[in-house]
Amino acid sequence: MYKKAIILIICLCISGMLFAQPKEVTLVVSGEGANKTEATNNALRSAIEQAFGTFVSANTTILNDEVVKDEIATISSGNIESYEELGSVSSETGVMVSLKAIVSVQKLVNYVRNYF
């Protein structure tokens, strides 16, 4: 009972913060990967996580003082409106890119409205 109330309070706080935010956020991010595409995807994922944060949910089941199930789920949702590559560096271990990304907060607001 208390767990559901705490989750509801957290969700309401998050929704309040989301509704007060602008519709777009501009960020400068970087990402690493084995190739340029992977590095770009990691940078864009980083932009979404920085703009919205990541919702983490944990569920642990204990039976007779023994952990039976331990699950952790993360959700990060958003929409990249556009991005511009600022630079990239290649090395023997992979590629690092820097991007200027414009992230839309409206998609996450709609998700929170529909989910909760």
pLDDT in tens, 21-53: 567 788 899 999 999 999 999 998 888 888 777
User: Distance between CA 104 and CA 52 in Å, rounded?
Assistant: 10
List CB contacts of 76: < 8 A, sequence separation 6 or more: 45, 48, 49, 52, 53, 54, 55
Chain center to CA of 50: 7
Helix ranges (H only) for 1-116 are 2-20, 36-52, 106-115
Q: Which residues pair with 31 in a beta bridge?
A: 97
Split at pLDDT 50, 70, 90, the class of 20 is low
Confidence class for position 69, pLDDT limits 50, 70, 90: confident
Sequence-separated (6 or more) residues with CB below 8 Å from residue 5: none
Confidence grade of residue 6 (pLDDT, cut at 50, 70, 90) = low
* Mean pLDDT computed over every residue of the chain: 77
pTM exceeding 0.75: no
- List of residues 6+ apart from 67 with CB closer than 8 A: 60, 61
Residue 15 has a pLDDT of 55
